Amino acid sequence: MGVCESDTANTMSDHRVTLYGSLEARIRDWLSGSPEGHERGAVILFRRFRQQVEGLEASTRFVAVDAIMMDDDWILESSPVRLRINMRKLPPVYLRCELEDLQLGFAHSHPSGALFFSTIDDQNEKNILRGYAGCNGLDTQLISLVLSDQRWIARVRSAGNPDQSEEVRHIAVLTDRIDLHLNDGSKPDDPVLARQEAAFGKPFNRKLASLRAVIVGLGGTGSPLATMLARMGVGELILVDGDNLDESNLNRVRGYRRPDAGSPKALLLADYIRSLGLIGSVVAIPEFLDQSPTAIDAICTSDMLFGCTDDVAGRDLMNQAAYYYSIPFIDMGLTGAVRDDNEGAPYLYDHRGRVSIIMPESGACLRCQGVVTEAKLAYERAIRERPELRELDPETLRREYYLTGGNESAPGIGAFTNAVADLALASFMELLRPFRRLSNDFRGDNIWSDFIHLSYYSNMPLLDPTCFCCGENGLLCQPEGGYRLGMPRLGVTVS
């Protein structure tokens, strides 16, 4: 709205904006679709996640959940460089924000190709915020976006200080990939990352630096993954694991030493990563995910979630979080079996690694991929309550305990766990800067590595439209009903 660059003094902050793909496409098509080439506008409604992660700078994440296109009587005047909206249309939107605990956003286009906020934008944002705060209070924030030449920029104003605007770190558009729209700020080149930039181009390293990632599980897959994410230049890492290091882990983990045995993995690995002297920040949450409201709060503020646990219940929580909070999620695991040969000597009969890539609107969730099932959850609960069941064969478990599972294991071998972590890292890079050339029968969201036969393949998921996670009426950006992930045992949500 306007053609003159703003002279408002902006201060950098760590706000981040997430738009899931179908909603962003609908907004973008509307804003860029004026037959006369005029500016257009849209109201966007956001969920706000501003939980503080101890040890990291305060960073609010805004996730878009709905949009209202400003057509007909919304518009009082428009031109290629100006848009004047009917402020009397906004009070019902303010009421919805109050009732649904949402924050107000306003997006408009600059058809002229000028990707900046103007002085006219400044005044219009203040006018909107004045009415918004008058109805909803001083804790409200207005998220403003400009679209020009298919690129986004954004900033935030707070009702407590309406004259000051704060830029966002990035706008993440989530389709079958992660399209990060960065602000204009730049950071000094790091020679450590020069070859990475040579392979993937600019601004790949800046995109990594803008991300906050959570890694749940810090053993054979999680510890190499976390150390390499730090070496790649991911800006903020949150390490979650309630286990202590066991000496039996040392054959396959990274960042730990024998004297560390008995100490919390999360604290040990965070200290190790800090000792590397790299550009990012790292914090530890030495707690189990299913018992930790702190860890759930950290996940909802993140841009990327990595699951490296060996329990189905933890995977199920992360699977649901990916949809509630609209977060890309990469989960990994291994399966296998050891048998005896004709002479009674053990041999590795089967050993495979899996990487699942779950995007909020693309691919299939872990339930539809068959990774999480009610039968597996029931078996796991039973084993926790009665560890002696672990020794029984599958037939006895089915016949006497109505449980499916047992008698298979994936031995923790460093060559295989590290290979799965590397495959997950490559899949993460593919999301940010696509480079793979896959055959039509290979699914990029479900990758299996067969270490025995040296082959890769994909499983076909169920693609169930009734799935409560990823189905048509699933969890994507749904309200949690007052409890974290809708589960009372995880405590009341913090807004």
Span 285-337, pLDDT tens digits = 999 999 999 999 999 999 999 999 989 999 999 999 999 999 999 999 999 88
- Which pLDDT band, with edges at 50, 70 and 90, does 382 fall under? confident
Q: Is the pLDDT of residue 5 over 50?
A: no
Q: What is the mean pLDDT of residues 4-16?
A: 51
Q: Is the pLDDT of residue 149 over 80?
A: yes
Q: What is the mean pLDDT of residues 91-113?
A: 95
Q: Find the range with the poorest average confidence among 241-245, 274-278, 411-415.
A: 411-415
Give the pLDDT score at 95.
Answer: 97
Q: What is the mean pLDDT of residues 10-14?
A: 48
Give the pLDDT score at 11.
Answer: 38
Average pLDDT, the chain: 91
Q: Tokens 């007052």 appear where?
A: 482
Q: How many CA atoms lie within 13 A of 450 on its CB side?
A: 10
Q: Is the pLDDT of residue 130 over 60?
A: yes
Read off the DSSP letter of residue 3.
S
Q: What is the mean pLDDT of residues 382-391?
A: 82
Give the pLDDT score at 188.
Answer: 60
Residue 189 or 282, more confident: 282
Burial of 388 (0-12, 13-18, 19+ CB in 10 A): exposed
Q: Domains along the chain?
A: 11-182 (3.40.140.10), 191-490 (3.40.50.720)
Q: What is the mean pLDDT of residues 162-175?
A: 94
Maximum separation of any 2 CA atoms in the chain, in Å: 87
Distance CA 128, CA 85 (A): 10
Q: For helices 119-136 and 91-100, give the axis angle rounded to 10 degrees.
A: 60
Q: What is the mean pLDDT of residues 5-33?
A: 78
Q: Is the pLDDT of residue 407 over 80?
A: no
Q: Find the range with the poorest average confidence among 82-96, 143-157, 183-197.
A: 183-197
CA-to-CA dists, residue 248 to 58, 230, 406, 452, angstroms: 38, 25, 21, 23
Kindly report, residue by residue over 322-336, the tens digit of the pLDDT: 999 999 999 999 998
Distance CA 197, CA 190 (A): 10
Q: Is 488 helix (H, G, I), strand (E, B) or coil?
A: helix
Kindly report, residue by residue over 253-265, the tens digit of the pLDDT: 999 999 999 999 9
Tokens for 492, please give them.
């009341």
Instruction: Give the residue ranges of DSSP H helices in 118-254.
Output: 119-136, 194-200, 204-209, 222-232
Q: Is the pLDDT of residue 14 over 90?
A: no
Strand partners, 84: 77
- Which pLDDT band, with edges at 50, 70 and 90, does 9 fall under? very low
Q: Tokens 């004259």 appear where?
A: 163
